[in-house]
Structure formats: C-alpha cells, structure tokens
Amino acid sequence: MRALQLVAPSELAVVDLPQPQPGFGEVRLRVKACGICGSDLHGMDGGSGRRIPPLVMGHEASGIVDAAGEGVSAWRAGDRVTFDSTVWCGECGYCREGRVNLCDSRQVVGVACAEFRRDGAFAEYVTVPQRILHRLPEALSFEEAAFAEPVGVALHAVRRAGDLEGSTVLVVGVGLIGLLVVQALKRAGAGKVIAVDLDEGRLELARELGADETAIGGPGLAPFEVDIAMEVVGAAPTVDFAIRSVRKGGRVVLVGNLSPNVPLPLQVVVTRELDVLGSCAIAGEYPEALEAIASDSIRVKPLITAAVGLENGVDAFVKAKAPGALKVLVTS
C-alpha cells in the first residue's frame, strides 16, 4: 500500500509498505480522509519523543471497513466509520469508569514512543480494534467525519468545565481546537464567549462561529473577569493570562499542552480559590461529536484549509505549516 511515512525527524516520504492485516478483534479500514493534527506538526521533529521514525502518523481519520479479523461481528465491509484516536483496553479501572482517555494501557493511533508503536492513517489502509469504531451518519462526508476527533476533544474540554448555563467564558487561543471550543461552549449554553488570540483573521472566524466578543492578545491586554477560562494554547503567557482572568471561585480548564512545563501563579489560584482542571483527549464524546457535525451545530467546513491527495502528502504538511492554516486533510 502507499503511505506517507515519517522516515527521519522532520522528513516525510510517500513509500510502499505491506498492507496491514487485521488481527483478532480488529478491522482494516480503507482510509478516505485524515487530518493533520498540531501534535503531528510539533512532534515530527522528534522533540516530543512521541513520533519516533519510521512511523505513519495520522489519527483524525474516516474511511470504509475493508476487512475484519477473527472475532469481529458488528462490522462489515463497506461500513462507513471513524475511530477513537485512543486505543483503550476496556478492562482497567479507568476504562470501567468510562474514563477511557486515562486507560492504564492507553495507546494513540499514529504515535511511536518508548512504550508503544502504532502506525496511523496517512496511508491507504489502517487497522484498529473494533471497540474504538464509530459509525458515520448517512449524510456526513468523509472530510467532515475526519473532524470527529478534534470536535470530541473540544466537547470533552467543555464537559470538564461543568455547568455553563449563562456563564461568561474566556477562550484563550483560537486555533483549530479553540474555534471548536467556542462553538461547543455556545452549544452547551454559555451566556457570553470571549475569544482572545494574536491573529485577527482567527478572531474574525471566531466571531463568525459564535464568539460574542474578541480581543487581540499580548502584553498590553488587561485580564478579564470571567466565570470560566479555557486555555487552548499551552504556553506560559497564555496560561498565566487565563488564570488571572477568572473571578474568585471560578474555573480554569487547561486544554493546550504546547509546553511540557509552565510557571503557575500559585498565589492567584490559592487566594481566589480557583478550580484548575486538565482536559485530556476524549472520553465517550465521539457519538455526540458526529451528531454535532452532522447537524451543523458545530461547523467544520469553514475550518478546512485544503484537502490534498495522499501521493502529495508531503505538500500537505507544507500547507499545514503555512501561516493561517487551520486543518489540512490528506485524502485517498
């Protein structure tokens, strides 16, 4: 099969690889669309230790069931599906609680690190366990369905924020996930959503997608006083700004993780008695994500920068790195 492979740090090539064979409880998908994630762009240089070459990356995908391994009964060839980016065991305590994103044996499709290696979906075919599959709504395109994973991330983050009815919520950073968080907040009943970013073009799109107010970020911007702040960057200045923008007794949800470590304004957190919550991946939000995309209550089409064929996958990554790019899809 043809695949876009990370052959060395920051070096991609379209190569021929053996077609994967589904094992027990697995299905093989003919990939139709796969989104380039920020974690692919940031991790492919080897710095994160989670994209060790040679590796086929890609975890935001949709496709058609092509073959089923032994023990698979719920899926048939021709079924239109997407899949959870997290491969969870279903047996550990976290999985039994429904917190599959925290599975003790958690793996991620398209990731290779010291603990595991699992090729992803920048390829003609990919194999995944049947338990992480989700059926597509009939009218949903493969390109839109490839957004199920990032939409699920946004929905999970908003769920972590708790009751939003009538709340004023600040979203710090409106890249792709931030723009989805803006929409998920409005969908969940937030009273006012304020978006902050350094890019006026993204702020304009945030307003189009439901933000009530926007502001250009930077050292000159004074903190707000909101009920909840969603930090969707993961860098020291934005985490600090989000925390300082929350009223006493409010909540901060940390979604971005660009930097592995950031300083924490501890006295602000303690004296204002803030709740600081992390949000990791997805824990059961896939069906809701697919419904939200299909119903257009979360709009993804405006977020597609380009769709590029697999044979031109190297160019797709060039487009994804360009200023202003949101989501580039690799199609096959």
Given the DSSP bridges, would you call strands 2-8 and 226-231 parallel, antiparallel or unpaired? unpaired
Query: Of 150, 178, 19, which is closest to residue 82 (Cα–Cα)?
Result: 150
Phi, psi (degrees; rounded to nearest 5) at 215: -150, 140
* Interatomic CA distance for residues 48 and 300, integer angstroms: 28
On the CB side of 153, CA atoms within 13 Å amount to 24
DSSP 146: T
What is the percent of the chain with per-residue pLDDT over 90, rounded to a whole number? 99
The verdict on domain 152-278 having CATH code 3.30.70.150 is no
- Cα-Cα-Cα-Cα torsion 173, 178, 183, 188, nearest 10 degrees, comes to -90
Query: Of 157, 127, 125, 178, which is closest to residue 16 (Cα–Cα)?
Result: 125
- Dihedral of alpha carbons 112, 116, 117, 122, sign: negative
Its pTM surpasses 0.85: yes
The residue type at 311: E
Q: How many helices (H) and strands (E) does the chain have?
A: 10, 19
Q: Give the confidence band of 198 by pLDDT, cuts at 50, 70, 90.
A: very high
CA 67, chain centre distance (Å): 27
Contact criterion met (CB below 8 Å) for 12 and 3: no
The residue type at 77: A
Structure confidence by residue, pLDDT tens digits, 40-60: 999 999 989 999 999 999 999
* Interatomic CA distance for residues 183 and 171, integer angstroms: 11
**What is the average pLDDT score of the chain?**
97
Structure confidence by residue, pLDDT tens digits, 64-119: 999 999 999 999 999 999 999 999 999 999 999 999 999 999 999 999 999 999 99
Contact criterion met (CB below 8 Å) for 316 and 328: yes
Structure confidence by residue, pLDDT tens digits, 3-36: 999 999 999 999 999 999 999 999 999 999 999 9
* Residue 47: per-residue pLDDT: 86
Structure confidence by residue, pLDDT tens digits, 121-148: 999 999 999 999 999 999 999 999 999 9
The domain spans of the chain are: 2-147+300-331, 152-278
Contact criterion met (CB below 8 Å) for 211 and 233: no
Structure confidence by residue, pLDDT tens digits, 268-325: 999 999 999 999 999 999 999 999 999 999 999 999 999 999 999 999 999 999 999 9
CATH superfamily of 2-147+300-331: Medium-chain alcohol dehydrogenases, catalytic domain (3.90.180.10)
* Interatomic CA distance for residues 122 and 95, integer angstroms: 28
Q: Which tokens sit at 198? A: 């350094």
Residues in the chain: 332
